[in-house]
Chain A
Amino acid sequence: AQSVTQPDIHITVSEGASLELRCNYSYGATPYLFWYVQSPGQGLQLLLKYFSGDTLVQGIKGFEAEFKRSQSSFNLRKPSVHWSDAAEYFCAGKTSYDKVIFGPGTSLSVIP
């Protein structure tokens, strides 16, 4: 069955430190992959997406993600975290016109 998993429920990093949020997917074919960010009580903001081509994808707010087919992963990274990055992060996948399947989310806390 199609699924998206995020192994880390909660991550805490210090401001200015680097960040990597993990995401793994299970699909029959390579899906389209997304990362969304959600602040408390807010909607879902698309950070970046991978459809095909270059496996390193640049997004908004200084985020990037790397698609690795061999590992079925699409990890999100940021070289230097800001306090405003504290939020819930969702990895998601879909195929063609199929529905988006979300991972369970990773809650990011940032220590000043």
Chain B
Amino acid sequence: EPEVTQTPSHQVTQMGQEVILRCVPISNHLYFYWYRQILGQKVEFLVSFYNNEISEKSEIFDDQFSVERPDGSNFTLKIRSTKLEDSAMYFCASIQPQHFGDGTRLSIL
């Protein structure tokens, strides 16, 4: 069965640095999503992406965050000027049925 793949599995970054989380969605899927899960909490929606543009974003997804599809296959989440509270698991997802990648654990030091 096709899978959503995410890299890296774990990213450690100094506070204030920029990070890019990468996702390879299932081919032929058009809708992509990023979710965040702070340790011990529920999974929260960040942003949905369709036809190379953001279709919906949550209040969490502020100017610190951006998404793009740089080469037609990868789907990236960029976090600028990281803060301690950005430490979380970040999941990429592809639609119907909702397939999630294994996540990237982001640790901000």
Contact indicator B42/A102 (Cβ below 8 Å): yes
Instruction: Give chain A residues whose Cβ lies under 8 Å from the Cβ of B43.
Output: 44, 90, 92, 102
For residue A61, give the distance in angstroms from its CB to the closest CB of chain B. Answer: 16
For residue A108, give the distance in angstroms from its CB to the closest CB of chain B. Answer: 15
Neighbour of B93 across the interface among A97, A98, A100, A101, CB < 8 A: A100
B8-35 residues with Cβ-Cβ distance < 8 A to A are: 31, 33, 35
Contact indicator B50/A100 (Cβ below 8 Å): no
Could you mark each residue 58-101 of chain A with 1 if its beta carbon is under 8 Å from any beta carbon of chain B, else 0? 00000000000000000000000000000000101010011111
Contact indicator A99/B91 (Cβ below 8 Å): no
Could you mark each residue 37-64 of chain B with 1 if its beta carbon is under 8 Å from any beta carbon of chain A, else 0? 0000011110010100000100000000
Contact indicator B42/A100 (Cβ below 8 Å): no
Size category, B interface = 20 to 34
Query: Looking across the interface, which residue of chain B has its beta carbon closest to that of A42?
Result: B102
Size category, A interface = 20 to 34
- Determine the distance from Cα of A14 to Cα of B51 in the docked complex, in whole angstroms: 49
B78-102 residues with Cβ-Cβ distance < 8 A to A are: 89, 91, 93, 95-102
Neighbour of A43 across the interface among B31, B33, B42, B100, CB < 8 A: B100
For residue A6, give the distance in angstroms from its CB to the closest CB of chain B. Answer: 9
| With known contacts A44-B100, A94-B98, A103–B42 Cβ distance under 8 A | yes
Q: Which of B33, B44, B100, B105 neighbours the largest number of chain A CB atoms within 10 Å of its CB?
A: B100
A92-B98, A97-B31 given; name 12 further pairs at CB < 8 Å: A42-B102, A43-B89, A43-B91, A44-B91, A97-B50, A97-B95, A97-B96, A99-B56, A100-B35, A100-B45, A101-B45, A102-B35
Closest 5 CB pairs of A and B: A43-B102, A102-B43, A44-B100, A99-B45, A104-B42
